[in-house]
Structures are given as structure tokens and as C-alpha cells.
Amino acid sequence: MAEKIEFNETVEENVNMLRENGRKVMLAGLGVFTLAQEELTQLFNSLVERGSTTEQKTRNMFNKQVENRQKDVKKAAKRVEKEVEKRLEDVLHTMNIPSKNDIEKLSRKVTTLNKKVNDLSKAA
């Protein structure tokens, strides 16, 4: 009978050891799952942060390029405007028609002459 008790104790110890090892394997699996979840959450948050930074840098770069293009367009428009004005003045000059600048110069001269005439008439 002593052998039978040893055998039962060994079987019971083995069953307990299997239960404990099974429990440890289950806990290790839960630990792996928890660790993976935490690391994936950190990775996700890190990727979101990088994406946000990249988006902002891209927006800034795009806005800078738009501003530069707008400045270029304004400069080109001014050059075109000056060229058109110059050509119109040339056409008016060729046709012997006074330009706006010519009329303004004459107007200033007339105003100056009127002032001098008024000053002379007051003095006389």
C-alpha cells in the first residue's frame, strides 16, 4: 500500500504542477496581450504625433509656396501694367494726343501761373 500512496501523491503533485504551469502559461499570455496592447497604443500615439507634425510642416511649406507665387504674380502684374502704360503713352505720343501725365503737368503749370497772376494783380 505504501507504493500506491506514493503513486497517488505523485499523480496529485503532477496534476497540481500541470495546473500551476497551465495557470502560469495563461498569465504569461495575458501579460503578452497587455504588453502588446500598451506598445501598440504607444506606437499608434507616436505615429499620430509624427503624422500631425508632418501635416503641419507640409501645410507651412505649401502656404509659403502659395505666398511666394502670389508675390511673383503681383510683381508680374505690375510689370505688365507698366509695360501697357508705356505702350499706351507711346501710341498717344505718336498720335500727338497728350497723356494723363502731360495733362497733369499742364494743370500744375496753369495753377502756378494763376497764382502768380493773382499775386501780380493784387500788387498792382
pLDDT at 96: 85
Q: Is the pLDDT of residue 2 over 90?
A: no
pLDDT at 6 over 70: no
Does 51 reside within a domain? Answer: yes
Confidence of residue 4 (pLDDT cuts 50, 70, 90): low
Classify residue 21: in a domain, yes or no: yes
Considering the domain boundaries, does residue 103 fall inside one? no
Beta strands in 30-83 (DSSP E): none
Query: Which phi-psi region, left, alpha or beta, contains residue 96 (left: φ > 0; alpha: ψ -120 to 50)?
Result: left
Provide the number of structural domains found in the chain: 1
Q: Is residue 28 part of a domain?
A: yes
Q: Is residue 118 part of a domain?
A: no
Q: Does residue 81 belong to any structural domain of this protein?
A: yes
77 exposure class (CB count in 10 Å sphere: 0-12, 13-18, 19+): exposed
Q: What's the pLDDT score for residue 1?
A: 47
Is 120 inside a domain boundary? no
Q: Give residue 27's domain range.
A: 2-97
Higher pLDDT, 92 or 71: 71
Highest mean pLDDT among 3-12, 51-60, 91-100: 51-60
Average pLDDT over residues 39-57: 95
> Quick check: is 121 in a domain?
no
